Chain A
Amino acid sequence: MPLIGLPEHDPMNAAHTIPEWQKWMPLAVALPGIFFAYLFYIWRPTWPKATADALGRLYRLVYHKYYFDEIYDRVFVRTARTLGKFLWCSGDDGFIDRFGPDGFAALSEWVAQRFGALETGYVYHYAFAMVIGVAVFVTWFWIKS
């Protein structure tokens, strides 16, 4: 309840002018509560369990706060965490890194290995490459001219 509010709002005064029965309502609700608490836990301590067993599902529903926390956990919390894990493992590591920096690194390594394979160290391989090169050049100039 705001102590300082807009001039047209006067909650303090309004609280005094409610109907008489409304003022008695809290007490009227509290007294049976006290009575039942006394009945269940002091006079007849075996009754709570018997009542819970008799009510079954209804009791469990109320006991678990209509399963609100569980629903919230399933729908929002677990979904967000699963999605987060997916984006981290499949998005960052599996896609961005795989095709981005790591992909480029792997590609340069692959290209280097392929070119490296040409370097066999055998003289006749190099001589053969030179012959092919000369043949290609001669053919090229012959076609051009």
Chain B
Amino acid sequence: MSSWPILSIVTFLPLLGVLFIALFVKGDDSRKGMIQAAQAIALITSLATFLVSLLILRDFDPSNTGFQFVEKYTWIPSFHIAYIKGIDGISVWFVLISTFLTPICLLSAIGGVKKRVKEFMIALLVLETMMIGMFTALDFVLFYLFFEGVLIPMFLIIGIWGGEKRTYAAYKFFLYTFLGSVVMLVAIFAMVLHVGTTDMTAMFDGKFSRPMSLLLWLAFFASFAVKTPMWPFHTWLPYAHVEAPTAGSVILAGVLLKMGGYGFIRISLQMLPDASTYFAPLMMGLSIIAIVYTSLVALAQTDMKKLIAYSSVAHMGFVTLGIFSFNQQGLDGAMMVMLSHTIIASALFLCVGVVYDRLHTREIARYGGMATNMPHYAFVFMIFMLGSIGEFLSMQGAYLANSIYAFVAATGIILGAAYMLWLYRRLFYGALEKADVKVMLDLNIREYIMFVPLLALVVWMGIYPTYFQGIFAPTAHKVLADYHAALEGNIHE
């Protein structure tokens, strides 16, 4: 199995589906057969990609803390650019969540997307390739190409299939994230010229002088802080989430936000350890501001999607808080929050999509009493709503690093419980009075198929997180050990 270029197969398999749809599916939305064919091809391709990605998990050796399934080919030798791919304990879950979420998004799109169906399927499959490509890239140029490549299909998904203010939201998303990435590109050039190769593994463990590493760190911060997003670079997210179609919101919350967290670990922590320590107070400060600020803002929301979007910023605050605690509990906690948030935020956006497809509004006040006529939906929503409250490991890590930060961040958990339970009460309890809400039907078969894997996974993750942790923990240990060794090395110098 290991002789196969399995990472390349998983990365580019979705493009095969794109090719099929582009070549063989003809006609426009007026032809039902055309729509069904495009949907079927997209779904089959994404399921096949997911199945192949399971082979990665099967053959992945958690005790090996280096990169596995490494593929290395010469690409542009005159510029020392190579095609290098590989995964370790940190990136393997991100590949899996990308392949896991795409079929679920496609299922949701089958019910929700009515115009330019063929193009939507293509955009989602291209997005999948970009996401997997980014998490598996070990060459800086390749990394940057995929990192930026994600923007194009996502820009189209928001801009074409979005809500009323889709143009504003799409441009805001694109320009905000692109501005950060351009600065990152300059930093990549500087690093490549300094080290003499684009191989990312050659840049680990603090190869740069202090002034240079501080500048490089800030350049990467510009990109990852927008992507994560951290306060005060978060204002694109509520608009993007609200205007994006359900599938777009799911991928945005589930995978795209994690690219920021992944970048902070892979590049800031592993390549620029000294600068990460220098800027840790800034990161911790912005993280706790994000947690408290956005949790308070979430309390004031009247739009379901906006509420969940703000809660995502708060959750990602726990991620950055954990990463920059520089201890095992913190990093493990950050990884666990990223994984659980992927499942839970995605599921919550799907939940919003269920009622949006029926009533075409996200206003919380337009609903109420749905536990009476949609008990199964109420149950599913409750599981995910409860799952989104509490981030113990990363809190523990933050406490070990600084008890005051942990104390302030803990108020975010209380506020999290408040806005989530309050949202649930307003949606599901009280009298079922509104005529159009009364006639809404409970979950259909397609929606059950969409939620069952997510429910299973969230329960599994809640009851037995050790399995998930066991995959990334040895690598996380090594990342931290390398980080501390690099710092000591710098001190001795």
Contact = CB atoms under 8 A, between A and B. Distances in A.
**Residue among B175, B293, B300 with max Cβ neighbours from chain A (10 Å):** B300
6 contacts: A83-B296, A87-B297, A87-B300, A88-B297, A100-B235, A101-B172
Interface string B289-306: 000010011111100000
A60 to B, nearest CB: 27
Contacts of B299: 80-81, 84
A87 B293 contact: yes
Contacts of A81: 299-300
A81 B298 CA distance: 9
Interface in A78-129: 80-81, 83-85, 87-88, 91-92, 96-97, 100-101
Contacts of A92: 235, 238, 297
A96 B296 contact: no
Contacts of A97: 235
B176 interface: yes
Given A80-B415, A92-B235, A96-B232, A101 B297 contact: no
Contact of A101 (B176, B298, B301): B176
B313 to A, nearest CB: 10
B418 interface: yes
Interface of B: 172, 175-176, 232, 235-236, 238, 293, 296-301, 415, 418
**Residue among B175, B299, B301 with max Cβ neighbours from chain A (10 Å):** B299
A101 B300 contact: no
Contacts of B236: 101
**Residue among A81, A84, A91, A96 with max Cβ neighbours from chain B (10 Å):** A84
Do most interface residues of chain A lie in helix, strand or loop, or is the interface mixed?
A: helix
A87 B415 CA distance: 15
B296 A87 contact: yes
A84 B298 contact: yes
A101 B235 CA distance: 9
Nearest to B310: A88
Contacts of A101: 172, 175-176, 235-236
Contacts of A83: 296
**Residue among B175, B176, B235, B238 with max Cβ neighbours from chain A (10 Å):** B235
Given A96-B235, A101-B176, A80 B418 contact: yes
Nearest to A95: B232
- A-B residue pairs, 4 tightest by C-beta: A84-B300, A84-B296, A85-B300, A84-B299
Contacts of B297: 84, 87-88, 91-92
Nearest to B172: A101
A81 B307 CA distance: 13
A88 B89 CA distance: 38
Contacts of A80: 296, 299, 415, 418
A100 B296 CA distance: 21
A81 B236 CA distance: 22
A56 to B, nearest CB: 34
B410 to A, nearest CB: 15
A34 to B, nearest CB: 35
A61 to B, nearest CB: 28
B298 A100 contact: no
Interface in A46-84: 80-81, 83-84
